[in-house]
A and B are shown apart, each in its own frame.
Chain A
């Protein structure tokens, strides 16, 4: 590892690898460090990804990264009513994340980026009050100082270095979902992503079944982190695993299936952080809480942001000016584009958490695939009108969506 680069990126996930690819292709000398021993491991993800972002970046997804193709979604209400929804935006894949993350890093390496695993940033090196590099340890022991005029945090949920740089990256319990997931087999599926809603089944969240190859599936649950549905060692807390196990015990197919992987995680379902840049520092992807508040998906956004931020970094590199003012262009572009979309999704999340199972059943009874599509693209007026026609009292809760 050299000691001087044009940029150091912390985290080799989709955000960091994409940033590195674009920045390296544009002529910057970049280093990606990842504290994990293996890129992409452990997988902490449902592994679903729409096709749009990969296509728009001109990439061709290798077969090894795809577990199975997805042709649509099946959304199921508390009373069992199913809405099957197939359209262009639901076309996608369930990935093999391990392979996928490695592939994105390899693309960056092909463009000239350097990637180092088992390399953890422990602190920021400051010079004249501004970040100038990182203290890192390799293989758990060897310490080294690495310098660059630009530090990029693509650290994901933990974001310890962004935190040290003064960004408000700490997650509040109300704005996270705590999740548990099994990879299970056998599961016969129809290449649809399945989502199950119900306050008893998954309070302030949902159960997902994402099909994978060879009759496997990711079966997971996410529930509000501030909930107290379980007793955790004498303290009330959110307990996704118990609810997950209940769902599986009641599921015709899954109750007899085996598990191949057990894992859990915590994902942001709140707003992005208040600032993305400081002098010589950028925060991108899940570290900046750029995550969809409805489904907790972050890969596509991370990749789109990676390109956007790297384009700005390249401009800064040409001018040799990594001031906050210069880097702010990334934030100024992001908020009206992706930020606005995310705000609408957050509003929808906050409305949904006020609905009880009766309300949800009513909604599932009176909307179809067309309305679901409208809701997912942020057009609430039509579906809200349909729903309140049969249950006017819901207007009080739903009116914020149309005001």
Chain B
């Protein structure tokens, strides 16, 4: 499970391009997150240039 601080997001969709399962997508002016697809790999957190994504370490 990740959290996105949307107000800091610059809408580059870098997270979506590295997400291996398609759990993130730029839709309109917002990054949509589909938690059911998320495998908690953290790729989006590592690559986000604006550092607005957090990975919850416990649970899914």
Given A173-B46, A180-B49, A232-B48, answer yes or no on A266-B28 (Cβ-Cβ < 8 Å): no
Q: Which of A44-70 touch B at CB < 8 Å?
A: 44
- The number of inter-chain residue pairs (CB within 8 angstroms) is 105
Question: Shortest distance in angstroms between A23's beta carbon and chain B's nearest beta carbon?
Answer: 26
Residues of B within 8 A of A163 (CB): 22
Interface residue from A171, A225, A262 paired with B10 (Cβ < 8 Å): A262
Q: When the two chains form their complex, are residues B25 and A225 in contact, meaning their CB atoms are under 8 A apart?
A: no
B-contact 0/1 string along A335-346, CB 8 Å cutoff: 000000000000
* A114, B57: Cα distance in complex, Å: 47
Interface residue from A158, A173, A225, A264 paired with B50 (Cβ < 8 Å): A264
* A233, B53: Cα distance in complex, Å: 8
Residues of B within 8 A of A274 (CB): none
Q: When the two chains form their complex, are residues B14 and A173 in contact, meaning their CB atoms are under 8 A apart?
A: no
Given A157-B17, A170-B20, answer yes or no on A266-B46 (Cβ-Cβ < 8 Å): no
Q: When the two chains form their complex, are residues B53 and A158 in contact, meaning their CB atoms are under 8 A apart?
A: no
Residues of A within 8 A of B26 (CB): 35, 158
* A195, B54: Cα distance in complex, Å: 32
Question: Shortest distance in angstroms between B16's beta carbon and chain A's nearest beta carbon?
Answer: 5
* A164, B42: Cα distance in complex, Å: 22
Interface size on B, residues (CB 8 A): 30
Question: Shortest distance in angstroms between A130's beta carbon and chain B's nearest beta carbon?
Answer: 21
Q: Which residue of B lies closest to A120 (CB)?
A: B27
Q: Which of B5-51 touch A at CB < 8 Å?
A: 10-20, 22, 25-29, 42-43, 45-51
**Contact of B55 with A by CB under 8 A:** yes
Given A160-B22, A163-B22, A233-B53, answer yes or no on A226-B16 (Cβ-Cβ < 8 Å): no
Q: When the two chains form their complex, are residues A233 and B18 in contact, meaning their CB atoms are under 8 A apart?
A: no
* A179, B13: Cα distance in complex, Å: 12
Q: When the two chains form their complex, are residues B17 and A230 in contact, meaning their CB atoms are under 8 A apart?
A: no
- Top 9 nearest A-B pairs (CB, nearest first) are A266-B14, A264-B49, A237-B46, A157-B17, A265-B12, A233-B54, A225-B47, A158-B16, A232-B51
